[in-house]
Structure 1
Amino acid sequence: MFKKILVPTDGSTLAQSAATIAAQLAKSQGAQVVGVYVIDPFPYIGIGDASAVGLQAYMAEARSAAGQALEALGQVCKDEGVPFAGDTIERNVVYEGVIETAQAEGCDLIVMASHGRQGVKALILGSVAQKVLTHARVPVMIVKG
């Protein structure tokens, strides 16, 4: 039924739970898992050398976090015997990066975690999961935390 499953990750424990479910589903379907870590661009203000140094430090830290998150996701897939490919992308809007990756990679399912925020917290913080659900053109499975 599913051939390519996209798993967005932020390296959290909750994202790891979604990764486990996605890998098990992929195994049962004979599917591949594609992992993605979306980096928010550096809030560059363009003033002086400090911004350039800040950008380098920010990107180094973000790429390190992305590498660790994707490595953990890859290990879950390896443990389940599922093919895995991971990528780090940079987008201003995280949910758009997730949807773009699903389209570019030809994924037919997105499995992702949701922190399950409600009320004012959900309004203020927004929900990447909710936005992916709203805008994705493929089925989305939400793993609640």
Structure 2
Amino acid sequence: MFKKILVPVDGSALSHAAGELAADLAKQHGAAIVGVYVIDPFPYIGIGDASAVGLQAYLAEAQAAANRALEDLKQVCVARGVSFSGDTIERNVTYEGILETADAEGCDLIVMGSHGRKGVQALILGSVAQKVLTHAKVPVLIVKPNAT
């Protein structure tokens, strides 16, 4: 049924759980996993050397975090014998980067975690998962934190 499953990652335990579920689905369906990590652009555009140094430090740390998150997903896929490819992209709006990747890669399912924020926290922080659900052209499977 599914041939290519997109898994947005952020390095969290919830992202890891979504990756495990996606890899299990991929194994059952003979599908491939596409991982994506969306980096927010550098938040400050200033003048002078300090801005350039800050930009380099920010990008280096963001890329390192992306590499760790994608490597984690890769290892989950390798353990299950599932094909994996991953990419890091930079976008102002995270959910748009996820949807663009799903479209560009021809993914037919998106599996991602949702932290389940509610109330004022959800209103202030927004929900990437909610926006992906609202705008996706393909099915979206949301992995929620374990209720304890």
The answer, yes or no, to whether TM exceeds 0.5 is: yes
Indicate the RMSD between aligned Cα atoms, in angstroms. Answer: 0.5
Question: Residue in 2 aligned with 1:133?
Answer: 133
CA deviation vs aligned residue, 1:73-132 (integer Å, no higher than 9, x gap): 000000011000000000000000000000000000000000000111100000000000
* Count of matched residue pairs: 145
2:52 is matched with 52
Equivalence for 2:108: 108
1:21-71 deviations in whole A, cap 9, x for unaligned? 000000000000000000000013222110000000000000000000000
Q: What is the rounded CA distance, in whole Å, between the counterparts of 2:67 and 2:113 in structure 1? A: 19
Question: What is the correspondence of 1:1-145 to structure 2 with a 5 Å cutoff?
Answer: 1-145=1-145
1:15 Cα offset (Å): 0.2
Q: Determine the C-alpha separation between the residues in 2 that align with 1:45 and 1:28.
A: 47
Runs of 4+ in 1 over 6 A off after TM superposition: none
> C-alpha distance in 2, partners of 1:45/1:73?
32
What's the TM-score, normalizing by structure 1? 0.99
Cα distance in 2 for partners of 1:45, 1:38 equals 19
Ranges in structure 1 where 5+ consecutive residues have no aligned partner? none
Aligned equivalents of 2:98, 2:112: Cα separation in 1: 10
SS of equivalent to 1:58: helix
Amino acid across the alignment from 1:140: V
Residue identity (%): 76
Query: Secondary structure of 1:110's match?
Result: strand
Gaps of 5+ in 2: none
CA distance in 1, matches of 2:92, 2:37: 13
User: Could you tell me the TM-score, scaled by structure 2's length?
Assistant: 0.97
